[in-house]
Structures are given as structure tokens and as C-alpha cells.
Amino acid sequence: MDLLEYQGKQLFARHGLRVSQGKPVTNVQDAVTAAAEVGYPVVVKAQVLIGGRGKAGGVKLAADESELREHAANILGMDIKGHTVRTVWIEHASDIASEYYASVLLDRSAKKPLVMFSVEGGVDIEEVAEKTPEKLIRHHVDPLAGLTRADALRIASEGGADRDVVEGVADALIALYEVWMQEDATLAEINPLIVTPEREVKALDSKVSLDGNALYRHPENQSLSDSENEDPLERRAKEEGVQYVKLDGDIGILGNGAGLVMSTLDVVSQAGGAPANFLDAGGGSNAETIRQAVDLILANEAVRAVLVNIFAGITRCDEVALGLIGAFEQIKPSVPFVVRLDGTNDAEGRRLLQEAALPNVHAATTMSEAAEMVVALAAGQSVGAPA
């Protein structure tokens, strides 16, 4: 779960990291009030979960109220790479002497937390890592021991932080590690971590991802994330407990098991089609989950054909067939379906479907055959005999 900049900063502040005073607002009038509170000059920053806000004109400095009104009005409602700006963060502008970089993330390969620090902040850190790797300090932490103060001081000093702020950077690293650890984050990044002319070390930006599986122990974080900009179908799926990702194509996909569904998307695109979604109905799919899944897939108006690809292990194909028959009775889909049932009770499942003689439902035996059929159907072509 990715947080907006200001949500991340609020988490930072809770753990003692220095951030500028600011307020999230959703209209110009509130922006004016917020700016008066934090004091001019202020920065108006678009709150969206996408990089390149500055280049898109979503970050502006305002010296007074008239500039603020102009920028807030321009940025609110702005579209940044498909994300609509609904909230702007108004923050007192900081004077900057240096821009550093700091992050803590889960290194899946080392299976340890990784602390990174660089004095080359404010730029794309992947580029720093690639072109001047010696300028990026990487330090793995034993998660059972945590980040010690001695380690943090060494990271700051070896990374080349100005001598007089080594202590301040170490404090920031320790606080950032605490955010990562105590909030169950998978990523906590500050770019840039600035040094002010007064030699204060401050987080000027934030990028935080929290582990959705750990939200049960952080009830206060459950309402975070960019729910306003979330795809409405993905939000609905989340509420219904369905693993669903919206994609750009026109072929609805229903399968069981994350790996098999990913594979189904690949096979459909190899056949020249474009999947409209990822949907994993889960290992123990029953008739009701199938009905719910069909409903969700068809709620996407772009869908022109649907592929149901089931390899039943724990799931039983006869249950899936009954679910489909029930779903068809209730929903009466107007688009064609291709159904491939394989595995436990597949013959029984296929028999049930055949007897139900559902309109516009086609049976396939292999994944490749199913993919070719659904691609043809989505393109408005006809395929062999119905199921």
C-alpha cells in the first residue's frame, strides 16, 4: 500500500523525523487558510502516487496569497499521468544548503532490511546507483538487532555527509529505520533529505509503502493510501476480498491461483489479445465466489469477451460450473465466454455446462486454444460450436 507524500510525512513526524509544517487541503480557500497558518513563502505540492510531479507543474512556490491562489487553482484537478490531483499539500518553504538521499527497504535477495544513503539527493537514485555507485552507501541491517547508532553514524560519515550534520543525518536514519520497522513498511524513502542553512536535517519529500498483510496491527494506518484515486473496480474488489487488478484491454480473465492467472494473461496476449484484468478467484473457489468474480469482471465496460481458466486442485470444476450457471442466471452477460475447466471433477463440470446450454459460452480444453478462441470472440469473429 503506497502512501501519499503528506501521509508519509505525517508518519515521519510521529517517529521524530523533522518535516516542514504543512497541511493537506482540497480547495483554494482552505489552501489560503493553511498558507496563512504555516507562513509564506509556501510550496504547493500535488498529492498523487506518481513520479514527475515537478516536471508536470504539480509543485509550485508561492510568495504571497495571490500566487498561492493561482497555483492552488491550477494544481487542484490537474491530471498528472492519469492521476487526478484532489489534494495539495501546503508547506512552509525550506531554504536548502544540501540535498541528500536516505531510504530503508526490504532487500528480498539478502532477506534483510537495507539502509541506503547518499549525498547525491534530489535526483533519480537509480541513476546514481548505476553511474556513480560509490556515492550510494548500502548497509544491510540484522532485523533481529536493529540499526545501531554506531552504524547510523558510520553510514552518514562514510556517505560523505558534511561533518557538522553527521549526527543529524544519523538521527534521521535511525528515525527512518524506526518508521520502517514499527509501521511495517516495505519502503521508507526520503529524497531529498535536506540540510538547511541553519544546519537542520529535514525530510522534504516522502515515499512510503506499507505491508497490507500487517495492517491489522496498525488500525490508524488503514484509512491511508490514495483511495480517491484508486480505480473504483479495484476498490470494490478490495472491499469484497477479491484479488483483482484492472488492466487496459478488453478480455476479462477469471482464473484460480495467482501464477495461473498471470500465465493466462500472458497466453492471451501471445494470442494477440489484451487482458482487461487480473482476477484470482482463489484456491477454494465455490459457486458464490465465481458469481461475484463474474459480476466484477463485467462491471468493466471495456470487456468484450471473458476467459474462464480453471485448473482445479482444491477447487472442484463442478462447483465452478455451478457458479457460472448461477452467475449467468442472475447477470445474463451480453458478451461471449470461453470456459476451460481442467483438473478435479472436470468431466462433471463440463457436463453441467453443456446441459445448461448457456448462451454464447464456448468450451476449450487447453489454455492456448482457449486464448485463441477468446481473442477471436473479442474481435467479433465467431468460433466453433458453443459448449
Partner 1 sequence: MSVLVDERTRLCVAGITGREGTFHTLNNRTYGTDVVGGVTPGKGGQDVEGIPVFDSWEQAVAEVQPNTAMIFVPPRFAADSILEAAAAGVELVIAITEGIPAHDELRVYNTIERERAGGHSTRLIGPNCPGILSPGKANVGIIPASFFEAGNVGVVSRSGTLTYQIGNEIARAGFGCSTIVGIGGDPVPGSSFVDILELFEADEETELVVLSGEIGGSAEEEAAEYIAENMSKPVVAYIAGFTAPAGKQMGHAGAIVSGSAGTAAAKALALEAKGVRVGRTPTEAALIAVEVLGGASLAAS
Per-residue binder mask for partner 1 (CB under 8 A), 279-318, x = binder:
-x--x---------------------------xxxx----
User: Considering only 14-22, 71-79, 154-162, 261-269, which stretch makes contact with partner 1 by CB under 8 A?
Assistant: 261-269
Nearest distance from C-beta of residue 370 to partner 1, angstroms: 11
- Other beta carbons less than 10 A from residue 86's beta carbon: 16
Helix (H, G, I), strand (E, B) or coil at 115: strand
# residues near partner 1 by CB under 8 A:
52
Query: In angstroms, rounded to a whole number, what is the distance separating the alpha carbons of residues 372 and 268?
Result: 7
Q: Does 356 bind partner 1 (CB under 8 A)?
A: no
Sheet holding 305-312, edge to edge: 243-246, 277-280, 251-255, 305-312, 337-343, 361-364
Q: Which range binds partner 1 by CB under 8 A, 9-17, 63-71, 254-262, 354-362? A: 254-262
CA distances from 17 to 188, 194, 202, 333 (A): 12, 12, 7, 54
Is residue 129 close enough to count as binding partner 1 by CB under 8 A? no
In angstroms, the CA 68 to CA 205 distance is: 20
- Active-site residue numbers? 101, 189
Strands 337-343 and 305-312: parallel
Number of neighbours of residue 326 by Cβ within 10 angstroms: 16
Q: How far is the CB of 27 from partner 1 (least distance, A)?
A: 29
For position 263 contacting partner 1 by CB under 8 A, the verdict is yes
Nearest-CA neighbor of 166 among 180, 152, 148?
A: 152
In angstroms, what is the minimal distance from the CB of 70 to partner 1?
32
Residues making contact with partner 1 (CB under 8 A) = 2, 106, 108-109, 111-113, 126, 142-144, 181, 184, 186, 211-214, 216-217, 243, 245, 247, 255-263, 265-270, 275, 278, 280, 283, 311-314, 342-344, 366-368
